[in-house]
Amino acid sequence: MSAPAPSVQLAELRRMREAGEKIACLTCYDASFALLEDRAGVDLVLIGDSLGMVIHGGTMTTPVTVEHIVYHSRCVAPHLKRAFLVADLPFLSFATRERALDAAQRVMQQGGAKMVKLEGGREQADIVEYLAVRGVPVCAHLGLQPQLIHKMGAFKVQGRDEAAAEAMLHDAQVLQDAGADLLLLECIPAALGRRIAERSRVPVIGIGAGPDVDGQILVLHDMLGISPLVTLGRKPRFVKNFMEGAPDIESAIRAYVQAVKRKAYPAAEHCFETQTAPALAGVKTEAKASAAVQGRARLPASDS
Ligand code: KIV
């Protein structure tokens, strides 16, 4: 019998980036799926605040608390033999340095996470640095930030014009300089995903950020085709339902991992483009995103 694969650490994620091996990531919220994901070869598991939507049935992530993240981390962590566990810091839990440190301490010590993820650009650099110098590995989440729903009013693709793209490139550098060990890019044009990954010194994981980043992540219930968003017929453009053609859930997760590793997912149909006709595309995007937010606070399939 072969020896069990060693657990994935940050150094392994960095090695994979250097070697050009894609990193397969997935959200997870409970023990049963943790076992399946780990066995299927998922490299990084995220306790995402998307649990507020796919587990709790809400329309946004803002009601999720540190207690929720710790609870679900505790369900998942003991069942991961190999995958690297990351936990979200929920809305306002990192609003001050002290709160961020307290939240990170709880999700790492009580939940078993090895890294925290927090949404925001350069305005979070101070918090990222405060955590990083205290030994907390941080993943910085750029692009679409679902926790900003009440400020944005609607969810839409980010970084589509050159000014916004430049701002995001700058954010990515500032956050790395502050100590971020990983970047996550959500819903941005594939060309911008590539530019950020090319200039990055740390692994870059994308969700709706095109194929030219170091790894991919999806919400588990989306890629199994069972999230309310998908069953209500509003599958985001970047989501592929891996249950289609799979005999069981574990096979679907394996198919996802293999598709990421082989660079077969995401395909062109899952990617967003840079805005070429600003006026027209802007109107279309706004209208569709606003319609979507009335139902659910995540990006609809049609927002392309
Ligand atoms: O909460 C979540 O699931 C996320 C996604 C980007 C995967 O942050």
Full DSSP string of 203-253: -EEEESS-SSSSEEEE-HHHHTT-SHHHHTT---TT---TTTT-SSHHHHH
* φ, ψ (nearest 5 deg) of residue 141: -105, 110
Element (H, E) at 184: strand 182-186
Quick one: which atom of ligand 1 is closest to the CA of 186?
6
How many A from CA of 1 to the centre of ligand 1? 36
Q: What is the per-residue pLDDT for 154?
A: 85
Rg (CA), the chain: 18
Residue of 196, 215, 197, 192 lying closest to 266 (CA atoms): 215
Residues labelled catalytic: 186
pLDDT grade for 1, boundaries at 50, 70 and 90: low
Q: What is the per-residue pLDDT for 259?
A: 98
Q: Is residue 29 part of a domain?
A: yes
Which tens digits make up the pLDDT trace of 270-294?
999 997 644 333 333 333 333 333 3
The whole-angstrom separation of Cα 203 and Cα 38 is: 20
Q: What is the per-residue pLDDT for 190?
A: 98
Task: Give the pair of three-digit tokens for residue 283.
Answer: 């109107």
- Residues with beta carbon inside 6 Å of ligand 1? 27, 46, 48-50, 88, 184, 186, 207, 217, 219
Q: What is the per-residue pLDDT for 275?
A: 77
Mean pLDDT, residues 39-59 taken together: 97
Q: Is residue 237 part of a domain?
A: yes
The whole-angstrom separation of Cα 71 and Cα 75 is: 7
Mean pLDDT, residues 293-303 taken together: 44
Residue of 4, 46, 40 lying closest to 220 (CA atoms): 46
Q: Is residue 160 part of a domain?
A: yes
Q: What is the per-residue pLDDT for 299?
A: 61
Burial of 49 (0-12, 13-18, 19+ CB in 10 A): buried
Mean pLDDT, residues 253-280 taken together: 86
Q: Is residue 3 part of a domain?
A: no
Q: Is residue 302 part of a domain?
A: no
Q: How many CB atoms lie within 10 A of CB 160?
A: 23
Does 246 score more than 90 pLDDT? yes
Q: Is residue 5 part of a domain?
A: no
Q: Is residue 202 part of a domain?
A: yes
Mean pLDDT, residues 124-143 taken together: 98
Q: What is the per-residue pLDDT for 229?
A: 87
Does 131 score more than 60 pLDDT? yes
Mean pLDDT rounded to a whole number for the chain: 91
Q: Indicate which residue's Cα is closest to atom 1 of ligand 1.
A: 48
How many A from CA of 210 to the centre of ligand 1? 16
Q: Indicate which residue's Cα is closest to atom 4 of ligand 1.
A: 48
How many A from CA of 3 to the centre of ligand 1? 32
Mean pLDDT, residues 225-254 taken together: 95
In contact, 100 and 53? CB cutoff 8 Å: no
Q: What is the per-residue pLDDT for 298?
A: 54
Q: What is the per-residue pLDDT for 163?
A: 97
Residue 150 belongs to domain spanning: 10-295
Does 188 score more than 80 pLDDT? yes
Q: Is residue 231 part of a domain?
A: yes
pLDDT grade for 254, boundaries at 50, 70 and 90: very high
Residue of 61, 107, 256 with the most ligand 1 atoms within 8 Å of its CB, for mutation: 61
Q: What is the per-residue pLDDT for 206?
A: 98
In contact, 254 and 82? CB cutoff 8 Å: no
Quick one: which atom of ligand 1 is closest to the CA of 218?
7
Residue 20: which CATH number? 3.20.20.60
Alpha helices (H) along 77-209: 97-105, 125-132, 149-152, 162-178, 190-199
- Provide the domain count of the chain: 1
